[in-house]
Amino acid sequence: MTKQKNSRRRGNDLLDSLYNATIKLTDTVKLTNLTFQQIAEEANTSRAVLYRRWTTPFELLQEIYNYKAKELFDGSFFDKLKDNGSLRSDFLQLLTLFQNTYKKIGAEIINNYYFLRTQDSDNSQETEMHKNAVEKYLRTMERILQNAETRGEKIKKVHHVTLMLPFDLIRTENLIRPENINKNRLATMVEEVLLPVFTE
Amino acid sequence: MTKQKNSRRRGNDLLDSLYNATIKLTDTVKLTNLTFQQIAEEANTSRAVLYRRWTTPFELLQEIYNYKAKELFDGSFFDKLKDNGSLRSDFLQLLTLFQNTYKKIGAEIINNYYFLRTQDSDNSQETEMHKNAVEKYLRTMERILQNAETRGEKIKKVHHVTLMLPFDLIRTENLIRPENINKNRLATMVEEVLLPVFTE
DNA sequence: TTAAATAAGATACATTTTGTATCTTTATGC
DNA sequence: GCATAAAGATACAAAATGTATCTTATTTAA
């Protein structure tokens, strides 16, 4: 979809290129050591292009991670959720889908997103995105639990925050013990944590 | 304990001053925008002092957060843990002590610690510290559960990773929903998560 | 199809930060 | 009190910043 007849990139083409150059640099350069100079060189453009859009590399990073994290927060992966006939299977599928999205976006990117979030409390745009995501997560959990109840499984009433547990678990695992994540670990989360918490 | 008769600071006195100047700057300057110049000025010393110790602000930050996080990882707050006569009370005390340590050190500092950790996988010193901490956490949980079992409470056998749940919960809460933390929230964690997970 | 508008890219310049090196001064330990 | 180690001051070339101006390519709309 990229126009190759033009040598001078514009708009979103250029923006993508800047994003990618920055992400690529984070493989070798620590986040705290990034400079506009390097980014401009990596993206084959001039520094002016960067200064017209952002005042510091921090702002650029913030924009990138907000953008990249969108897929995690739009909750579109929930569309693949099926009623598997048991809460156990539904939970496992939920964790698997969520973890796959983490993997697809890249755990480092999401970790960085959450880090920048703590650095900047007045980011209303991201806050809105995050708030909507939490709403979607809650509604998804409510639906899963409702289905289970309809099937006759005994479901406990819990506070709303507790409904965030599956997502909290995946986030923690990717931040603290990323090397630990596999099918067995997800199954253990369901068996030893989620089922005891949400069922009698 | 600070010597005031000397105008020229040395060793740990100077180091403390550099650490404090850096931390102070992080109130106004984003982590990714810190410079040695600023830090030297803030600490009333010369840049040479900084370059003799670290090559980039990132390294300095890493050292600071490793140092500050020590108190969280040495597990000394566990000494205050008593046998309260019920698992419910023991869990609540554990969460309270852990959260108080978070508060004392500063949640931002610990969040930053974990972030830098993801940026640098080859930090053997911190890895050792972290590994020892996990060991201590596991042993503490085992002790608490053992006490409960001795009292006659029905305790489930779970994987080691699951024993990290109390600490994972507090970490998540401080990273994602810091405004949400109070006595009620901790009680809900015990009631709706920890007790169902660890007892029959 | 051409002209006007818009944004990219090149360049320049003063300022700040970096990284290194050298020298002087102060504090500490023997 | 003297030797040693480390702090602090200073200097300098190189890199990065922040801003401004000018040229050139691409888009839009007349």
Per-residue pLDDT tens over the stretch A39-69: 999 999 999 999 999 999 999 999 999 999 9
Residues in chain A with CB shorter than 8 Å from the CB of B119 are: 30-31
Higher pLDDT, B102 or A77: B102
The CA–CA distances, whole Å, from A66 to A43, A116, B46, B52 equal: 20, 9, 38, 37
Specify the pLDDT at position B127: 87
B57 touches strand D (CB under 7 A): no
CA distance B116 to B37: 21
Rounded to a whole number of angstroms, the distance from the CA of A169 to the nearest CA of chain B is: 8
**Pairs of CB atoms within 8 A across A/B:** 94
Q: Which fold has domain B11-53?
A: Arc Repressor Mutant, subunit A (1.10.10)
Residue A15 has pLDDT above 90, yes or no: yes
Higher pLDDT, B121 or B143: B143
Q: Which of A172, A180, A181 to mutate to probe the B interface, most B CBs <10 Å?
A: A172
Residues of chain B with CATH 1.10.10: 11-53
Q: Would you mind telling me the total number of residues written for chain B in this entry? A: 200
Residues of chain A with CATH 1.10.10.60: 8-53
Per-residue pLDDT tens over the stretch A66-121: 999 998 999 898 999 999 999 999 999 999 999 999 999 999 999 999 999 988 87
Mean pLDDT of B84-109: 97
- The answer to whether the CB atoms of A171 and B176 lie below 8 A apart is yes
By C-alpha distance, the chain B residue nearest A184 is B159
Q: Which fold has domain A68-198?
A: Tetracycline Repressor; domain 2 (1.10.357)
Mean pLDDT of A187-194: 98
Structure tokens at A151: 């099937």
Higher pLDDT, A6 or A135: A135
Specify the pLDDT at position B126: 83
Specify the pLDDT at position A77: 87
Rounded to a whole number of angstroms, the distance from the CA of B10 to the nearest CA of chain A is: 28
Report the alpha-carbon angle B155-B161-B162, nearest 5. 40
B10 touches strand C (CB under 7 A): yes
Residue A122 has pLDDT above 80, yes or no: no
Mean pLDDT of A12-33: 95
Residues of chain B with CATH 1.10.357: 68-198
DSSP type of residue A158:
-
Residue A125 has pLDDT above 90, yes or no: no
Query: Do the Cβ atoms of A78 and A101 come closer than 8 Å?
Result: no
Specify the pLDDT at position B5: 41
Specify the pLDDT at position B6: 59
The CA–CA distances, whole Å, from A59 to A47, A53, A64, A116, B58 equal: 15, 9, 9, 10, 18
Residue B199 has pLDDT above 90, yes or no: yes
Long-range interactions of B57-60: CB distance < 8 A, separation 24+: B57/A32, B57/A33, B57/B22, B58/A30, B58/A32, B58/A33, B58/B116, B58/B119, B60/B18, B60/B22
CATH classification code of A8-53:
1.10.10.60
DSSP type of residue A163:
G
Q: What is the mean pLDDT of chain A?
A: 93
A9 touches strand C (CB under 7 A): yes
Per-residue pLDDT tens over the stretch A128-153: 999 999 999 999 999 999 999 999 99
Per-residue pLDDT tens over the stretch B153-180: 999 999 999 999 999 999 999 999 999 9
Per-residue pLDDT tens over the stretch B10-43: 999 999 999 999 999 999 999 999 999 999 999 9
Give me the residue from B31, B118, B180 closest to A119, CB to CB: B31
The contact set of B with A (CB < 8 A) is: 30-34, 56-58, 61, 108, 111-112, 114-115, 118-120, 156, 158-159, 161-162, 165, 168-169, 171-172, 175-177, 180, 185, 188, 192-193, 196-197
Specify the pLDDT at position A6: 59
User: Look-up: residue for tokens 């990290």?
Assistant: B164
Mean pLDDT of A152-174: 98
Residue B198 has pLDDT above 50, yes or no: yes
Residues in chain A with CB shorter than 8 Å from the CB of B58 are: 30, 32-33
Residues in chain A with CB shorter than 8 Å from the CB of B196 are: 156, 196-197
Beta strand extents in chain B (DSSP E only):
none
CA distance A62 to A31: 11
- The answer to whether the CB atoms of B119 and A30 lie below 8 A apart is yes
Residue B70 has pLDDT above 70, yes or no: yes
What end-to-end distance do the CA atoms of chain B give, in Å? Answer: 53
